[in-house]
């Protein structure tokens, strides 16, 4: 692997098989819903990125430093503590939705949701739609 090459890349692992192996029944059902929603929003099939992230579509990024690569438009991971939902536009770009979303935690481009019943899934879908549109339009900067 080249020095600046991302460690997390698409793999040949089947995302449906990965989700079916999630032990917690509710987390598995939530992951199935998120996977179907993201596939519908992006029009792209789910692809495993590394051992635990399910991504949809790709875009090419270039940092000001010159580092560049390809990454998913959006994605998620059904982690033990919470569903990690990746909004590549960044959560600052989607702040208008957060007040309406429900119970969650955040990282820079990541939304952590314990269970879908804690949030308004229509708002989550709107956030994914908005984020994907911004990424596709090139409206994000690094």
Domain that holds residue 46: 15-135
| Residue found under tokens 């590549």 | 88
93 in a domain, yes or no? yes
127 in a domain, yes or no? yes
How much helix, strand and coil, in percent to the nearest 5, is found in the chain? 40, 25, 35
DSSP H or E stretch at residue 25: helix 25-42
* Overall number of domains in the chain: 1
For residue 101, give Cα distances in angstroms to 36, 72, 80, 82, 125: 19, 23, 21, 15, 10
10 in a domain, yes or no? no
Residue pLDDT, tens place only, 28-67: 999 999 999 999 999 999 999 999 999 999 998 887 888 8
CA 132 to chain centre: 10
For residue 122, give Cα distances in angstroms to 45, 111, 128: 21, 15, 10
DSSP H or E stretch at residue 99: helix 95-101
**Domain containing residue 30: CATH number:** 3.90.1150.200
For residue 109, give Cα distances in angstroms to 27, 28, 29, 55, 77: 21, 23, 23, 14, 13
* Mean pLDDT lowest among 19-33, 82-96, 114-128: 82-96
23 in a domain, yes or no? yes
Residue 136 has pLDDT above 60, yes or no: yes
3 in a domain, yes or no? no
**pTM of structure:** 0.92
6 in a domain, yes or no? no
Residue pLDDT, tens place only, 60-87: 888 788 888 899 999 999 999 999 999 9
Confirm if 43 and 91 have CB atoms less than 8 A apart.
no
């Amino acid at each position: 692997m080249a020095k600046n090459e991302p460690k997390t890349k698409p793999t040949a692992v089947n995302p449906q098989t990965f989700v079916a192996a999630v032990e917690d029944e509710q987390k598995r059902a939530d992951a199935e819903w998120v996977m179907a929603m993201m596939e519908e929003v992006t029009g792209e099939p789910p692809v495993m990125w590394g051992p635990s992230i399910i991504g949809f579509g790709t875009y090419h990024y270039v940092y000001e430093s010159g580092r560049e690569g390809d990454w998913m438009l959006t994605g998620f991971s059904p982690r033990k503590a919470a569903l990690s939902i990746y909004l590549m536009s960044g959560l600052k770009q989607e702040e208008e939705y957060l007040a309406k979303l429900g119970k969650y935690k955040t990282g820079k481009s990541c939304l952590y949701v314990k269970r879908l019943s804690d949030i308004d899934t229509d708002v989550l879908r709107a956030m994914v739609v908005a984020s994907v549109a911004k990424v596709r339009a090139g409206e994000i900067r690094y």
